[in-house]
Amino acid sequence: MLYDSAVLPGWDVEMMAKQLEKLLLQIDSGLDPSTVVSDLRPLTHQQAADILKFSCSDLNEHHECLHERILAKAKDWETNDAVHGWDARYTYSELQSTVKLLSPRVSSHLGGMAGGRIIPICYEKSAAALVAMLTMLSGGYGFLMIDSGLPTDRIKYMLEVIGANCVVCSNASQQLVLNIGAQSINFENMFQSAAYCIFTSGSTGSPKGVVLLHNQVTSGLEAQCSVGLYLSSAHILQFSSYSFDTSIADIFATLLSGVGCVCIPRDEDKLVQLSRNINEFSVNVIDLTPSAARMIQPADVPKLKVLRLGGESMHQHHIETWANRCNLQNTYSPTECCVQCTSVDHIDNSTPSSVIGKGIGCHTWVVDPQTHEHLMPLGAVDELAIQGPAVARDLVKFNKQGNLIFVGRGDNQIKIRGQRVELEEIENNLQQHALTK
């Protein structure tokens, strides 16, 4: 078989040849006249065995509540910093005591609302916001973090979807809550006197609320800790917006990992003073989009040990800049998983920038989007299916080492400066406008 090695790796061509052979043998075996091309199966027995080996990582389900698991561990490192924010600092012992103190007060303010309800929290990035999340969980509620920078119509829609008429807020965000017609519960005043919900970006016209249960969150985060994504000595900068589930991992996986500290700068500082924040908080782990990672250079952040990229495609530039300076990692994190479902670490100059690694606490399959029970042959590009409580619509393939290669999205989402933009959502809103009808 003749091929251009500059375009196709030899292994890919070998897989294609075996698949072609399998197809030809099926055709030659005497098919029923009603057989159509889509009925043919190019997957060989050996490839099926290899896919099973590649796809099946350990599945360890934890049934403890997330907050109980974190607070129970607090006794083992009581005096260690758990949270270092611009507004406050808590040891694990102080965090545990504060949450236990505030939990009944929250329940009282919520008027005996049934446990399991999703409570919206509208808070600027701060240590107090982290305390609010844990307090909701401790009170038996789930939470939905609302970014105060979202359009008011989007916030109203999110509250309508989850059936909420009250919002836990800070002094700074209280007026916003009142402006949208919701009841405000000022969390800061309490200091003086499901597990979580997150919304997708809305590529089908309206954002989709995804609710993850305690066992799903705890199982996912514990799996990520078990493979070393969150070091026990990590000081992680909580950079991502509360609207994105990376913030969940930044906070709760760090607290689960043991003697980790969540470092929280001001929202207005995180973009213009990123390197300075990393140094001032003694940060050694950070999770960024590749676009945001361009704002820092290795020489400016000598204490950084782990740079984890996700949310958009990594480029060769990032490998050339960081591979020999720290543990460079690339992850894949759909909203419907908690949080990273694949990862590759210790990336070096020989690693293709499109590699997103192997499954973490989940089984990953490359499937035919029309018939999901049909696995695709090795090297074939098609949709990623994640076994468990997750759904993904991105295009991937397996490489020779069994790592998943990210090929592209199955929708029209793009990124501008690392911020997610859904072209279909924009199109849908334009179509609803009076001037376009």
**What pLDDT digit, counting tens, does each position of 183-234 carry?**
998 887 765 545 556 666 555 556 666 666 767 777 777 777 777 777 767 8
Q: How many CB atoms lie within 10 A of CB 335?
A: 20
Pick left, alpha or beta for residue 205 (phi over 0 → left; psi -120 to 50 → alpha; otherwise beta).
left
Supply the mean pLDDT for the chain: 81
Would you place residue 114 in the very low, low, confident or very high pLDDT band (cuts 50, 70, 90)?
A: low
Which has more pLDDT, 191 or 51? 51
Place domain 66-288 in its CATH homologous superfamily: ANL, N-terminal domain (3.40.50.12780)
Q: Using CA atoms of 152, 158, 163, 169 in order, give the dihedral in degrees to the nearest 10.
A: -60
**Given this model, what pLDDT does residue 287 score?**
93
Beta pairing partners, 367: 375, 383
Gap between the Cα atoms of 403 and 54, Å rounded: 8
Gap between the Cα atoms of 342 and 183, Å rounded: 40
Q: How far is CA 110 from CA 70, 114, 136, in A?
A: 24, 9, 11
Please list, in sequence order, all residues whose beta carbon lies within 8 angstroms of the beta carbon of residue 415, skipping any fewer than 6 positions away: 289, 291, 311, 312, 421
Q: Are 411 and 424 in contact (CB under 8 A)?
A: yes
**Given this model, what pLDDT does residue 193 score?**
43
Q: What percent of the chain has pLDDT over 70?
A: 81
Gap between the Cα atoms of 285 and 235, Å rounded: 6
Would you place residue 319 in the very low, low, confident or very high pLDDT band (cuts 50, 70, 90)?
A: very high
pLDDT tops 60 at residue 124: yes
Burial 280-299, CB ≥16 within 10 A → b, else e: ebebbbbbbbbbbbeebeee
Would you place residue 279 in the very low, low, confident or very high pLDDT band (cuts 50, 70, 90)?
A: very high
Average pLDDT on 381-399 reads: 63
Amino acid at 67: H
Beta pairing partners, 331: 343
Beta pairing partners, 183: 166
pLDDT tops 60 at residue 94: yes
pLDDT in tens, 257-273: 766 899 999 988 887 88
The DSSP letter of residue 75 is G
Please list, in sequence order, all residues whose beta carbon lies within 8 angstroms of the beta carbon of residue 269, skipping any fewer than 6 positions away: 86, 276, 277
Average pLDDT on 311-326 reads: 93
Q: Are 403 and 357 in contact (CB under 8 A)?
A: yes
**Given this model, what pLDDT does residue 51 score?**
83
CA 114 centroid distance within chain:
28
Gap between the Cα atoms of 428 and 409, Å rounded: 19
Q: How far is CA 419 from CA 240, 243, 407, in A?
A: 10, 11, 20
